[in-house]
Structure 1
Amino acid sequence: MSEAYRSNYYTEADKVLYANDSIIDYRVDQVLTPKVEFAIEHSRSSKKTWLDIGCGVGEALSVAKSYGYDTLGLEPNVMEAEYAAKRFGVEVRQDYISKDTVSKYRGQYGVISMFSVLEHVPDPNHILSDVSAIQGEGDTLVIEVPHFPSISTMSQMPFPDFVNRMMHPPLHLFLFSLRSLEGMLKRHGYKINAAWLFGQDFYEMISTLGLFAPAMNQSKLLSALSPKMSELQAVIDNHNLSDEVLVVAERI
């Protein structure tokens, strides 16, 4: 897995998707700012320190910094770590959280975030154990992971040769129900204070169907549905069938 994330293929793809000056401001404003604000709203920690594990190109760190947090990011991909430092002026270390590094970070961070991290690691419980050893009572853990059941995953399950995003092996190894997250976090000394479900399910469902019925991509049906995509996604979100979940948990 470590080799995959350091690979040229992964790096070049992320230059287009994330380390891209033409879209980075949009992503910060429209994608990461609402998530960080949600985390701050539901955090009860008095410490204004934020550690982002798997920080990527530093989008979340830039928002946390703008809210007055002292920040640090951990990111193994060299290109992303360098981009974050240059673009946002945040400190990023090419480091992992493990039993060998826990002592370096213990007691320092009122907020620890892992946006789109746990689904990528072979043993999510292991990293949660290490993170819980860093934090103390009242500290905040922010986790975003792919959610199941969701319309995205259920629309792709009948077509395993065409899975995308949420069920993309070997990069996504796990999907998480809210109940499973609650159980895992409780095991490591956390309780969930707030959960936010959202996603791109309607888009994913239409895209998957379009692979098998190409005429749909030019159809009046798609033309009629496309302007309503946000409203239709809101219905999915309101029924807890979104493909992403963001939880804010408290160390107890």
Structure 2
Amino acid sequence: MNAAPAVGPLLGLVLVVLTAAAALLVRLGGLGPGREVCVAAMRATAQLAAVSLLIAAVLRSAGWTALFVAGMVVVAAATAGGRITGSMRGRAWWAALPILAGVGPVLAFLLASTLVPLRPVAVLPIAGIFVGGAMTACAMTGRRALDELRTRRGEYEGGLALGLLPRDAALEVCREAAVLALVPVLDQTRTVGLVTLPGAFVGVLLGGADPVEAGATQLLVLIGLLAIEAIAALITLELVATGRLAATAGDGR
């Protein structure tokens, strides 16, 4: 039995209703312009439609799969860098470093262990999850770290007055940003199976695997994400502390 939703007018209607409801709630609740919700929903629709058309061709070739993953990294770096610096130029591209440093070693380790088969159909979805997690950790750490440096400028300057190097003074102020950035993945890992059934588990289950195999796949993904996001958060923190990742208008130092 196919558990996927049928593609047709009903699906379109449901998506429109949900998008409109979310946009209205955001606007009425003073959380921002509802237009952003609509734009995000339309972008998701267009992007997934394009990916759905491309994915069959991509999965037939290891080369195309590698190129597709590289494209994911570029988009993730641009997104995280833009979120941190307010621009997608110059310093924003330092965001590629924590993403690559997190995803590269962990994905290579899983492939070398043969737990993840070296086949496009296995590599692509896991790589996508890993890149997305690294992007989120990078963006959250960088944004929070810069906010801390702005709002706690006096503490930063106090550290300099005590003889700390600029990097060390910045780390004393913004280190907590990395801790907070890891909260979502830690909570997801702690509550998996009790509160949520994440995408990897559901995807493998719908693909015909038994629940034990689906659970093993999800566990591998979650523990991999813990390592990836920890690496990404720490490197992002270092980039902010050394001034390589800074807001376009300055980071308050």
**Greater Rg over alpha carbons, structure:** 2
TM-score for the superposition, normalised by structure 1:
0.27
Higher RCO, 1 vs 2 (CA within 8 Å, ≥6 residues apart): 2
TM-score for the superposition, normalised by structure 2:
0.27
* More helix by percentage: 2
* More strand by percentage: 1
